[in-house]
Structure 1
């Protein structure tokens, strides 16, 4: 057994993260109804998405990475997941609302990574001119519901059978949080 210790750090996402972030997202495209995208993306196709989340402003990208914490130097081992705040809707009156989401590497769940990501995201958004955050959770997804409720989101309603993927229809439960 290795004595090497690791820690998780959260930081703003950067362009060099694009390949790893695309790999994480594509897992959910291929394997789950969590996203309603049905075709995988190349990193180049995902670049506009990444660039739409600068290090400041209301639309952020926070990345959790696992780092080797032995000794004095730290090197990134891998990206465990990411959280974003994105425009809720494109019309100007929605500018003070964001939609938030988290995607974790398939083996990173249950380790508190989602909690670290949302904590960092909401701290980063605290000084922004924002009023509400919204999250759409494809059902069933109890882990995501628990995470959002832990951060003060409250259930506001369900779009029934709103998306079709893998030959069936899926509900999306919507949650909101005051910012």
Structure 2
């Protein structure tokens, strides 16, 4: 894994990444219960999401790319946890890795960069909702110090069935 990790670069997301990020996310929309979006997006529909993650502040977008080709291998975000003002020091984090790029440590690299970027921000807690089952995501979050706080049972319906979401939190 060490050699493969050297081939990956992590940087803040940019507007030029919009098409590739939309394609990556749409895979999870169409093929998995990982996200509860149920229809694919166009890049223009995803533009507000991308623009809501500037290069500074508590809401970040970090992108992992293949150092040789520049292809996006994954991304991690910190986004508002809830819209009310008292939640402003809490973020929800998420990681998406390209389906052919798993098991290379990309999620770890993305979270390392994301949490390093958040270290100087006025953020107190990070939360992650993980649709179940998803052992790889649970392991990643636990490695980064997230602790399990509860499950929303059958909170989302997708692909004709109900899915649970386990919630994790981390002190920042």
C-alpha separation in 2, matches of 1:121 and 1:94: 19
Aligned residues: 168
Structure 2: 5+ residue stretches without partners: 1-5
Alignment partner, residue 15 of structure 2: 15
1:110 counterpart residue number: 103
**What is the rounded CA distance, in whole Å, between the counterparts of 2:38 and 2:141 in structure 1?**
25
Task: Find out whether 1:141 has 2:134 as its counterpart.
Answer: yes
Deviations 1:107-137 (A, max 9, x none): 1110000000000000000000010000000
1:32 aligns with 2:32: yes
Between the aligned partners of 2:54 and 2:76, the Cα distance in structure 1 is 13
Q: Of Structure 1 and Structure 2, which has the larger fraction of its residues in helix?
A: 2
Alignment of 1:65-80 (within 5 A): 65-68=65-68, 76-80=69-73
Partners of 1:37 and 1:82 lie apart in 2 by 17
Q: Residues of 1 paired with 2:102 and 2:144: CA distance?
A: 17
Rg (Cα) greater in structure: 1
Shift of 1:67: 1.2
> 2:166 matched to which residue of 1?
173
The aligned counterpart of 1:99 is: 92
5+ residue gaps, structure 1, are 1-5, 69-75
Who is 2:75 aligned against? 82
Q: TM-score, normalised by structure 2?
A: 0.96
Deviation, structure 1 residue 16: 0.2
CA-CA distance at 1:77 after TM superposition: 3.1
Q: For residue 77 of structure 1, give the secondary structure of its aligned residue in structure 2.
A: coil
Looking at structure 1, the residues matched to 92 and 166 of structure 2 have their Cα atoms a distance apart, in angstroms, of: 13
Is residue 162 of structure 1 aligned with residue 167 of structure 2? no
